[in-house]
Chain A
Amino acid sequence: MGIEIDDNTLRVTDMLGVEDAEILLDWLLKHPEGNLDLAGCTHLHAANLQVLMATRPRITAWPEDARPADWLRHALNQEE
């Protein structure tokens, strides 16, 4: 559980568990223009990945951890 919500920004501080996918989706539906700060994200459960892929939110910061960052970039910017 690592979600911090600050106005229009959702910051992921740790890892996103399977339950967080619902929160994330909920927030993204309410804030379609919201910013997603994934810098602190160490891992996210596949359900979260699905949410991100389906909603294509604005990501202001990619995870600092190279591995999830690589995967996320590939998943979200498909034609790379």
Chain B
Amino acid sequence: MSKRRVIPGFGLSLGFTLCYLSLLILIPLAALFLKAAGLGWQEWWRLLGSARVLAAARLTFGASACAAALSAILGLPVTWVLVRYRFPGRRLMDAMIDLPFALPTAVAGITLTTIYAPNGWVGAWLLKLGIKGAYSPVGVFIALTFIGFPFVVRTLQPVLEDFAKDTEEAAATLGAGRWLTVRRVVFPMMVPALITGFTLAFARALGEYGSVIFISGNLPMKTEILPLLIVSQLEQFNVPAAAVIASAMLVVSFMLLLSINLLQRWLDWQKS
């Protein structure tokens, strides 16, 4: 880098950033990996291969994937309406989308539990259909859908806003009906954003704790998610098990973060 730095503060701002980042984030996370790595591979496999961990992993990954998928399905019409139509209450609806970001997860947890409990507003109604809402895997799925929903809408929204209508006009000029245009022209353009939104919602859902633990019922082997399992291992002073499960989850999260970065690049490339 031959260009002289004109603007002052390089050393100070970078030094401060690196110190702060290392002390607060990097060193603590490294300590977790070191702690877990100190146990050796065999212990890792034994801990991660236990029936309880596998059951929790199945529920966490399964419910997160289903919830992210439902968020994507529900997010599509909502984003479409927010971007393309003008109607009374649109601004309010737009502002409401961020509610799951802003509402503390514990509050979301107790409210969703109350609504979906067997005697709750929706829970009673679900029960008539033979579905148990709260205190079942369905409850976990509901809470995670609530948490993941804004990720999909907020990823789709800018893409749909930037989408030039010329392409749609061209399709219409060429004789395509509206539905054909949407299906063949608009929808394919939204796929990258949809996948990104899904991945963001999925990544967030995997680590989610506060909104899930109230509604899930927390039965080992049945409705216990991985973050809760970490907490319960810690409460039983089984620190090695907590560290190993946490490290394994972190590895998955980092891989997801990496793929989100790549997806984001795909989106930026699509824009230009």
Real complex partners, A and B? no
CB within 8 Å of A: which residues of B? none
CB within 8 Å of B: which residues of A? none
